[in-house]
Structures are given as C-alpha cells and as structure tokens.
Amino acid sequence: MGWKLCLCLLIQFIVVGVACVVLSGVWMGHYRGGFAWDGSAHQFNLHPLCMVLGLVFLYGDAVLVYRVFPNEQRRSVKLLHAGIHLLALVISIVGMVAVFDFHRAQKIPDMYSLHSWCGMTTFILFCLQWVMGLGFFLFPGASSWLRAWYLPLHVFWGVALLALAVGSSLLGITEKLLFSIMSSYPLFDQEGVLANGLGLLLLAFGLLVGFVLSREEFRRPPHPEEEALSVHFKTLTEGGSPCTP
C-alpha cells in the first residue's frame, strides 16, 4: 500500500468522523429542537451529541494516534493518546450527566433498555481502560513484566471498546427514533433517513479504524521499549520468569 493510499484512508477517516458529529448535531439541533440544560428534552439532546463526539470520534482519534504519528517521540505520542482520551472522557461524562438529569427531571426510569445497559457497560469499561492505561504506561512505577502482561489486554480492549461504542450508538439511534417518530418512521420520514444515515456513518467509521489498525503499513516502527515488552511477554507466555529492571 503506497503512502498516497494511506493518506487517502486517513482523510476518509477524518471526513467520516466529522460527518458523524455534524449529523448528530443537525439531528438534535434541527429536528429535535436544539440544546439546553434545563431538564427538558433539549437537555437530552446533549447526550447523543456528546457520546458520538466523545466515545466514538475522539476515542477513534486516540486509538489511531500511534498510526498517524509513527515517527514522533513515543513520550509525546503517549501524552497525546492520553490527552485525547481524557477529553473524550470529560465530554462523555457531560453526556451521561445530561441524560440522567433529564430522566430525573421528567421522572423517567433509568437503565431499563438494552441501549442503556450496553452504553453504561461501555462507559465503565472506557473509564477503567483509561485509568489502567494511565497507571501502566504513562506514569513510571509499573515493572516491565507487568506492562508486558497488560499490553495485549490494553490493545484488545482499545478495539473492543470502539466496537461497543458504535454498537451502543446504533441501539440508541433506533431507540430514539422509535420513541420520537414511531408512526412516521416506516414512511421514510426525513428525520429517520438522516438518523439511519448517521448509523451507517458510525459503522463506516468503526470499520475504517479497524482497517487502519489491521494494516502493517500503518504500524509504528519497533521501539526499544516495545521490543523489551515483547520479550517479557514472550517469556511470560512460555512459562519463564521475566526479570524486572
């Protein structure tokens, strides 16, 4: 794969991701009446916008920073990775608080739908992933063998959480449409078509991230620290006793 195709894929990733956020804003801002923080349905509208922006778009950006900046200093890329994740976490917290506060104001039960169960599971796992990553990889203290043990789990959950976030978003889109326009939804209502398009873009975004992560051409060149972790992990899986530096 040439560098032009790689650049084309990254541009597509950015365009699709921004389109997801824009369509979320148009849906909630134009078709659902806008945004507010007053306990009304306008406050609920912050929830889907914040979750798409935080747990999908920014999270996907954070996942790919090691692929987008393969030759930058590892410490700088680590800080960028953690910083984007922190921003995604803050925005997601705003989205979560918005929906729970709206439910409380409108006396709507919490956590009864499949969307809410999947979404809360994703959010909790995301928080744990960020804290664990911070402790193991950003702050000194964790030994090499411990980081080597956790690294494959961190990578796996990084991809899995994006899939969970996209899946939860698709469930949320369907739930919102059925609550809001159930009678006109089968008639290809404009709002329904826009929301369905948003769902397809979210799916495309997740697939693009997965594709970039799977391609060797985007992989960061081996770093001494990463090679050391690989040696420790290999020793662990073969039943040896890794040395702690």
Q: Contact 64/212 with Cβ under 8 angstroms?
A: yes
SS3 of 244, please? coil
* Domain that residue 131 falls in: 1-219
In a domain, 244, yes or no: no
Mean pLDDT confidence for 127-156: 86
**pLDDT computed for residue 68 by the predictor:** 81
Is the predicted pLDDT of residue 221 greater than 80, yes or no?
Answer: no
Record the pTM: 0.86
Q: How far apart are CA 225 and CA 142, in angstroms?
A: 13
Per the domain annotation, does 39 fall within a domain? yes
Let me know: does 202 contact 169? Beta carbons within 8 Å.
yes
Tell me if 27 is assigned to some domain.
yes
Q: Is residue 203 part of a domain?
A: yes
- Residue 182, sorted as left (phi over 0), alpha (psi -120 to 50) or beta, turns out to be alpha
Number of domain units in the chain: 1
Q: What is the pLDDT of residue 203?
A: 97
The answer to whether residue 33 sits within a structural domain is: yes
Which CATH number is 184's domain given? 1.20.120.1770
Q: How far is CA 50 from CA 100, 204, 225, in A?
A: 14, 19, 35
Q: Is residue 146 part of a domain?
A: yes
Is 119 a domain residue? Answer: yes
Band the pLDDT of 236: cuts 50, 70, 90: very low
Task: Give the model confidence (pLDDT) of 31-70 as tens digits.
Answer: 999 999 999 999 999 999 999 999 999 999 999 988 888 7
pLDDT tens digits along 57-114: 999 999 998 888 877 788 888 899 999 999 999 999 999 999 999 999 999 999 999 9
- Residue burial 111-147, b: 16+ Cβ < 10 Å; e: rest: eeeebbebbeebbeebeebbeebeebbeeeebebbbb
**241 assigned to some structural domain:** no
